[in-house]
Every structure is written in C-alpha cells, then in structure tokens.
Amino acid sequence: MNYKVIDLENYYRNGVFRHFSEDCKCSTSLTAGIDVSDLAAYSKETGTKFYINFLYLLAKVLNSRDDYRMAWLWESSELICYDVIHPVHYIFHEDTETCTLVYSHYDEDYKTFYDNALKDIERAKQTREYGLDGQNHPNWFDASYISWLSYDSLNIELPDGYLYFMPIINWGKYRREGDRLLMPVTVRMNHAIADGYLIANVFRLLEKEIEQFVQSQK
C-alpha cells in the first residue's frame, strides 16, 4: 500500500478543499442511468458474469484519476493519494438475508482480476460472517449492487465532520428503455475533494470504458 502526500498549498483544489473540509463539511451524490447494453450482451455471449465485468470497469475508472484515490490521515492531518484503490463488495446470503464483505484486489489485467474476483466471491459464500476489516484495508472503495431494484435515487449519509474521501458506489438492476439497457448508478463522494464535474465524470468514463472494453474483446 503506497501513497503520496498532497502539498495542500499547491493542491489545485486548495480553496475548495479548505472550504468543504472546514467551513461547510458535506458530501454529494449523483444518480444516473448508464447504458450497459453492450456489456450485458458481451457477458451473455462469453458466459462471463456481468457483475464482475462491471466491477472491473468501475475499479479501472476510479483508478484512472488521482481525485478518486484520496484519503485523509487523521493522525498526521495529511491529505494523501493512494497509488491504487481496490473494491470491497458484497455477497448476499438468501438463507440469512445478510451480507459478507468481499475484498478483491484490482488488477489492470482483466483476466487476472476476473479470475481472482470469482474466487473471492466463492470463498465469501462459505461464511456468514460480515467480515469487516477496515483497519487492514484503508485503500478500498465501497461497491454495492442493489440487485432487487432498478431505482431512481439513492443517498448515502455520513457525518458531515467525517472526512471520508473514498468513493461509495451503488448500482441497481438494469432495465430496458427502448432498445437499450440502462442501469442506475449512484456515486457518492466528499465535497472537499470532488464537485459535480468530478462525480459526473465517473459516469462518462464508465460508458467510455464499457465501449472500449467490448471493442477490445472482439
């Protein structure tokens, strides 16, 4: 786990960061539908899991820019940027109606990530423990699939004074609209390190990565 310390005096969002980390502590979230038609078709044609394919592309997007890999070190009051962040996602157990956390390391190589994530999921199915281990996984972002609903809005609340900078991503069932499949995705980030542009950019990058991924696999 490596990171760099951000020089706040020369940080390009210095003024915004100070305002939203000191004067007006808050987070912001956006929900929008993204077109996953091609990714769903690819997953079906190849017999691969749409869930893992999307998780891979999500992790790739969030690792593509420093702004999505930020964290606050309380002990030293330092803003840092991790070299890489990984997804922590969830397995739902039908019998107990509870979840188990799944820690999957992001790897830029799709095949490596896919195979490892598949094994992580199978291991998580064997337990009913929640499995939270945040102390040993500081550079992990939350990725949660709400499989029962294609929703229109979702909001994640955290205490305003808590400078939690890792992205929190949720997505629901995709639904057909016309000839396309749209999937609701919610991106929550702390306003100190992300504004509307940076959050909206996650959606734009996701659709771009889906297109490039499907084309590259042909």
Contact 16, 192 (CB under 8 A): yes
* pLDDT score of 162: 81
Q: What was the pLDDT predicted at 158? A: 79
For residue 160, the model assigns a pLDDT of: 64
* Domain 3-216 part of CATH 1.10.287.130: no
In the chain, domain spans? 3-216
Query: Hey, what are 21's tokens?
Result: 């980390």
pTM: 0.97
Residue 159: the pLDDT is 73
**What is the per-residue DSSP string for the chain?**
--EEE--GGG-TTHHHHHIIIIIS--EEEEEEEEE-HHHHHHHHHHT--HHHHHHHHHHHHHTSSGGGSEEEETTTTEEEEES--EEEEEEEETTTTEEEEEE----SSHHHHHHHHHHHHHHHTT-------GGG-TTEEEEEEETT---S-------TT----S-EEEEE--EEETTEEEEEEEEEEETTT--HHHHHHHHHHHHHHHHHHHHHT-
Residues 6+ apart with CB under 8 A from 197: none
Could you give phi then psi for residue 60, rounded to 5 degrees?
A: -65, -45
Residue 123 has a CB neighbour count (10 Å cut-off) of 12
- pLDDT tens, N- to C-terminus, the chain (218 residues): 799 999 999 999 999 999 999 999 999 999 999 999 999 999 999 999 999 999 999 999 999 999 999 999 999 999 999 999 999 999 999 999 999 999 999 999 999 999 999 999 999 999 999 999 988 999 999 999 999 999 999 998 877 668 999 999 999 999 999 999 999 999 999 999 999 999 999 999 999 999 999 999 87
Confidence at residue 217, expressed as pLDDT on a 0 to 100 scale: 82
Contacts (Cβ under 8 Å, ≥6 apart) of 134:
140
Three-state SS string over 186-206 comes to EEEEECCCCCHHHHHHHHHHH
Give the C-alpha separation, 141 to 168, whole Å: 6
Rounded Cα distance between 1 and 107, Å, is 14
